[in-house]
């Protein structure tokens, strides 16, 4: 069973220097916001670290960049493995959106200012909502050039899902509440904002729900992100001809060049390709046998594709 560790420290410097933190509390089951609230409100700490894994000495190594984080009072992400897929997700999407894709405290650690954590605890109904609403720096950027796949904290979406993701029930209220959850910089009336929901539901294997949002914004948006999500959805049904139909509507996405670079790192099968061919990838996925090395390769590429497409969708949904 997962256990959430809440580590209290008087300041970020004490954690940066690997000094012993002042207190560590563990919560099981980790969803209990009442217990979290008790721990946080009874402590005089200035910072709290939320994580699933800690060392025996409760010493958490944290990058020196936290000195800057301490000055502006924002929340920091601390990957368990640098350049892991989880790290790639956070760097590409920003903390708020990434928290809707993965459980950040399981794939690394979340360092939050006490005043922010206390404030949002009163306004949140779940740990997922609490972490999403923390004061994240929302600027997305180019993430790791080569992903370290040794960390298995994140389950990759299946090529052909048999059922909805078990975490969907927890995340669904947050997806429906995106208008209130995301910063004011998003254009909530844009078709690309609708495409955000198509992407989130696609990650959680809710194909039909994702399909509906893609249809609501089809042929629209700055780079037709909804059509791209639509194509992915049909590829996963699987309905290859329908997927290729929607990829023809996408024509050329800014995602393709980045995706090719990551695919070339993932497998020699893609090393010699000069450009990304979404139609060839549809065929590649359809040939994959369950449990084969090719299926693992395709799952990694598909997962990267979804993150890069969401990153592009986020950019396109800005005012």
The domain boundary, picked from 85, 104, 132, lies at 132
Task: Please answer whether residues 161 and 233 qualify as being in contact, where contact means their C-beta atoms are separated by less than 8 angstroms.
Answer: no
- Per residue of the chain (319 residues), what is the pLDDT tens digit? 467 777 766 554 544 444 444 466 676 656 678 888 888 888 887 788 888 876 543 445 444 445 555 667 788 888 888 899 999 999 999 999 999 999 999 898 888 888 889 999 989 999 999 999 998 876 555 667 799 999 989 999 999 999 889 999 999 999 999 999 999 999 999 999 999 999 999 999 999 999 999 999 999 999 999 999 999 999 999 999 999 999 999 989 999 999 999 999 999 999 999 999 999 999 999 999 999 999 999 999 999 999 999 999 999 999 9
Angle (CA) 258 288 150, round 5°: 55
How many domains is the chain partitioned into structurally? Answer: 2
Residue 283 lies in a domain: yes
Same domain, 87 and 207: no
Same domain, 208 and 272: yes
The domain boundary, picked from 132, 153, 183, lies at 132
**CA separation for the pair 291, 314 (Å, rounded):** 33
208 phi, psi to nearest 5 deg: -70, -40
Same domain, 173 and 120: no
Nearest partner of 171 among 200, 142, 198, judged by Cα? 200
Residue 140 lies in a domain: no
Q: How many C-beta atoms surround the C-beta of residue 152 within 10 A?
A: 12
181 phi, psi to nearest 5 deg: -85, -35
Residue 252 lies in a domain: yes
Nearest partner of 50 among 121, 14, 104, 118, judged by Cα? 104
Same domain, 76 and 198: no
Same domain, 174 and 310: yes
Residue 139 lies in a domain: no
The sheet carrying 108-113 orders its strands as 23-27, 4-9, 47-51, 108-113, 76-79
Instruction: For the chain, give percent helix, strand, coil, nearest 5.
Output: 50, 10, 40
Q: How many CA atoms lie within 13 A of 93 on its CB side?
A: 28
Residue 157 lies in a domain: no
pLDDT score at 36: 86
Residue 156 lies in a domain: no
Cα 126 to chain centroid, rounded: 17
Same domain, 222 and 301: yes
**CA separation for the pair 151, 173 (Å, rounded):** 28
Spell out the residues 6+ positions from residue 66 whose beta carbon is closer than 8 angstroms to its own: 12, 15, 16, 76, 111
Pull the structure tokens for residue 97: 């959106």
Same domain, 117 and 188: no
Residue 259 lies in a domain: yes
Output DSSP code: residue 291.
T
Residue 147 lies in a domain: no
DSSP string, 71-109: HHT-BEEEESSTTBHHHHHHHHH-HHHHHTTS-HHHHEE
Same domain, 309 and 180: yes
Same domain, 120 and 13: yes
Q: Which domain holds residue 40?
A: 4-132
């Amino acid at each position: 069973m997962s256990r959430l560790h809440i580590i209290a420290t008087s300041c970020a410097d004490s954690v940066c220097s690997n000094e012993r933190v002042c207190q560590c509390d563990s919560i099981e089951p980790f969803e209990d916001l009442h217990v979290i609230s008790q721990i946080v409100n009874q402590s005089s700490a200035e910072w709290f670290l939320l994580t699933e894994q800690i060392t025996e000495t409760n010493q958490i190594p944290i990058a020196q960049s936290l000195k800057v984080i301490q000055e502006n009072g924002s929340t920091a992400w601390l990957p368990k493995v640098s350049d892991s897929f989880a790290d790639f997700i956070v760097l590409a999407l920003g903390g708020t959106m990434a928290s809707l894709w993965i459980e950040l405290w399981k794939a690394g650690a979340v360092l939050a200012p006490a005043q922010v954590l206390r404030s949002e605890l009163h306004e949140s109904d779940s740990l997922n909502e609490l972490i999403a609403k923390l004061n994240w720096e929302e600027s997305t950027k180019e993430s790791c050039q080569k992903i370290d796949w040794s960390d298995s904290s994140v389950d990759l979406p299946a090529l052909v899902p048999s059922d909805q993701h078990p975490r969907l029930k927890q995340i669904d209220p947050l997806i429906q509440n995106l208008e209130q959850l995301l910063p004011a910089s998003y254009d909530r009336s844009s078709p690309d904002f609708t495409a955000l929901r198509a992407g989130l539901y696609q990650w959680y294997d809710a194909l039909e729900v994702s399909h509906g949002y893609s249809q609501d914004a089809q042929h629209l948006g700055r780079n037709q992100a909804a059509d791209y999500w639509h194509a992915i959805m049909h590829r996963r049904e699987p309905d290859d001809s329908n997927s290729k139909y929607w990829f023809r509507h996408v024509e050329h996405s800014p995602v393709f060049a980045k995706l090719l670079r990551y695919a070339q790192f993932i497998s020699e099968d893609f090393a010699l390709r000069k450009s990304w061919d979404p139609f060839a990838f549809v065929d590649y996925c359809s040939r994959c046998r369950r449990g084969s090395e090719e299926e693992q390769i395709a799952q990694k590429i598909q997962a990267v594709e979804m993150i890069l497409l969401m990153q592009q969708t986020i950019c396109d949904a800005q005012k």
